[in-house]
Structure 1
């Protein structure tokens, strides 16, 4: 009798378990179904709205519609509309240029330029050795007023100017060049490969190592190590790392550079959308043996901020300058699409070794070095000897080293 009761109870328990499992499965399935239906309905609304606008425009628009331009603008608008201020859409042409530049198939003429606010032209702020521009004896402080007959006043974005200066090796770009003393020349520059170093360095005041990191790229890690070693071999007693205007494109390069300066420990981590935290890099025991200062400004961003923040928190470095951009995110690799275009989006938030982030509010310097309006107007005329922000950074570095 007891056996029959036990079998009955077991059967009942099994039925109850099956019923509970079925109910749970139905609940989960219904939630998934409702989510899918909601997603489908949202997409349907998007497509219907675009379809309505398209029908109206094509039936009534007077001007000719360029479908390629329209599609690119729609795609760019989508990326703009996701409220990710760091996301970027590349047209097929822009993405092709990016890949060609990364592989060395496309090169510029050997200059870095900015839009000069007073003249509206492209002002040369950096010249690369052994480049077409160097061979043609262009100078820092000169202006490029036209590229292949198009005035640079029409190219309001620096990226548009750089794009116009690109060409394959052996091809020619014609520029109109205005020397610093305002002599105009027309030059035909033949594109050739040249090195674009991301780091420069020198010794200031005999004992201060000055190292400027213009950008973080795939070559910066090795360049940075070589520069630090050279300065240390010169027996400098303190270091200034100039990160002004460094927008921090390559995260890994900044981590490698920071690792070379810092004692062992976690440098930074990434927080994902689901809250998961992933360590990005642990520093080894190799560390900078002299005190350091990081010089930053409002255009110091991304991995350049990571570098400065890590040196302050883990290496007791001082930050001199002005509050940084506040870009503390991790970007995806470019996702290419069927038409050759591509997009990058934010996939995580950067955190320092204490789990804190500087995203949206930036890094506040320990020593303020705000430029006056007159100094801002002369920003690109300064040298390492006359730059007031470098002077403050050097003074802070000397104080740390007991040289003041």
Structure 2
């Protein structure tokens, strides 16, 4: 017996077949470029986490696709068969389905890139790319919660609700596990897409359901969207004139905020410094190197990358200004990418003692390439190495002094150890 869904009937006909044929040929042509011959422009900015800005337009890349041209008809035939089966038999049981032909088309793009089975290479729709660019600016309309995804399990966890943010005021806590956003389950969905579900126009609301391990229960929050200006850096003076600077992410405004914090602490008589990179997922590489430029002396190698063709690109300090006080850096298992560039570099030069637990271990960088129609692709383009030639991908950076954070303690045991180390160095001078 034939079952049909009238809501899907508009997919029928010659026009759809032509659209899908053109679409798949375009996708295959693009893939032939970047999988075979494409090398990103050296002027593009790389990022540790894929939260990046524009590089050169991928549509300008050259590539020979004659080797796969024979598959055009085969793929077109299979796609048209799938379309025919869906159109004839698929029953849409959702009460509020709003799937459009554009959604189906975007699904083809996403599926093609997902087939690489590499968690850091992602296709972004126009909406997702707009959100990505917005997130690196440090200001957006959302709920003020930072999340992180385990790439093996697909589980998304709250890393930090910013103080005073709508999310924090609603009751969302660090270590809450996202279960649903707007009634859609999120486990296994790319975190970038989930973030687009969370964000919205100022004044609107979004339903967030979390699992709270500490209480072994599910909680639902209705959170209002507000314009959020994210503080990427916070600072304060601790006892014994030890400055404390927490860096939450490496975005466009981070280095400026870091420099301002250092200037203020120096004016207060700072004798030692603790840089807290715990739970910092990374961000823009040029933001990380700008901070290193402030700490280290001129003409020191900060990091170098090597791409698929063996091309090596080195980054050096350019500023004469340095920070000449004892430094300790706090890291943990969520300190990733650009955080590891900073901590690894300072460890290599003996400029800082690392305290905490082994870092995440993301020793690769990505380019985000606009595709000319508002969409973009983020793709892994190189491995990065610390000044001493260490690639920490999959292994992380071991601290000089390992200290587990005691969750039962009312004090921050890792911070206390860092203070102790810095104070000893101050007294030894």
Shared fold per TM-score greater than 0.5: yes
Kept in 2, the 8 Å contact 1:125–1:140? The answer is yes
CA distance in structure 1 between the aligned counterparts of 2:116 and 2:173, rounded to whole angstroms: 40
**Offset, 1:294:** 1.4
Structure 2 residue aligned with 1:32: none
1:251 to 261, 282, 285: 285
Cα distance in 1 for residues equivalent to 2:175 and 2:284: 30
Counterpart check, 1:301 vs 2:336: yes
Q: Shift in Å at residue 140 of structure 1?
A: 5.4
Match status 1:164 vs 2:191: no
Matched, 1:310 2:337: no
Aligned CA distance change for structure 1 residues 84 and 281 (closer, same or farther; 3 Å): farther
Query: Are 1:401 and 2:419 matched, yes or no?
Result: no
Matched, 1:231 2:265: yes
1:332 aligns with 2:367: yes
Q: What is the Cα deviation at residue 297 of structure 1?
A: 1.8
1:332 is paired with a residue of what secondary structure?
strand
In structure 1, distance between residues paired with 2:235 and 2:255: 14
> For residue 304 of structure 2, what is the aligned residue in structure 1?
269
8 Å contact kept, 1:211–1:240: yes
- Gap runs ≥5 in structure 2: 1-35, 38-62, 93-98, 150-154
Aligned counterparts of 1:60 and 1:137: Cα–Cα separation in 2: 46
Q: Which residue does the alignment assign to 1:98?
A: 132
> For residues 188-245 of structure 1, what are the alpha-carbon distances to aligned partners after superposition, in whole Å with 9 as ceiling and x for unaligned?
73x4434211111223333332211110000001110111222233333322211122
Q: Report the counterpart of residue 369 of structure 1 in structure 2.
A: 403
Q: Is the alpha carbon distance of 1:41 and 1:321 closer, same or farther for their aligned partners in structure 2, counting shifts above 3 Å?
A: same
| Structure 2 counterpart of 1:286 | 321
- Give the superposition deviation at 1:260: 0.6
Counterpart-to-counterpart distance in 2, 1:401 and 1:69: 60
CA 1:252–1:90 in 2, change beyond 3 Å: closer, same or farther?
A: same
**Within 2, Cα distance between the matches of 1:307 and 1:221?**
12
- Residue 83 (structure 2) aligns with: 58
Q: Is the CA contact (8 Å cut-off) linking 1:147 and 1:173 kept in structure 2?
A: no
Report whether the alignment pairs 1:345 with 2:370.
no
Report the 3-state secondary structure (helix = DSSP H, G, I; strand = E; otherwise coil) of the residue aligned with 1:75: helix
Deviations 1:10-54 (A, max 9, x none): xxxxxxxxxxxxxxxxxxxxxxxxx99x95454235534533432
Per the alignment, do residues 238 and 356 of structure 1 end up closer, same or farther by CA in structure 2, a change over 3 Å counting? same
Deviations 1:296-336 (A, max 9, x none): 12222211111111111235311222222222233223323
Give the distance between the partners of 1:348 and 1:121, measured in 2 at CA.
Answer: 26
Cα contact 2:276–2:330 (8 A) shared by 1: yes
Q: Secondary structure at the match of 2:243?
A: strand
Aligned length: 351
Name the CA distance, whole Å, in 2 between partners of 1:69 and 1:243: 38
Does residue 241 (structure 1) correspond to residue 287 (structure 2)? The answer is no
Cα deviation for residue 109 of structure 1 reads 3.0
Shift of 1:270: 2.7
Structure 1: how far apart are the matches of 2:348 and 2:293?
13
Q: Does 282-291 or 139-148 show the bigger shift?
A: 139-148
| Greater relative CO (CA pairs within 8 A, separation 6+) | 2
Q: What is the distance in 2 between the residues matched to 1:361 and 1:310?
A: 16
1:142–1:177 Cα contact (<8 Å) kept:
no
Q: After superposition, what is the alpha-carbon deviation per residue over 1:171-197, rounded to whole angstroms, capped at 9, x for unaligned?
A: 555779999999x998673x4434211
Q: Which residue of 2 aligns with 1:19?
A: none
Distance 1:70 1:389, change over 3 A: farther
Q: Does 1:77 align with 2:77?
A: no
Unaligned runs of 5+ in 1: 1-34
The change in CA–CA distance for 1:171 and 1:41 in structure 2 (over 3 A counts) is same
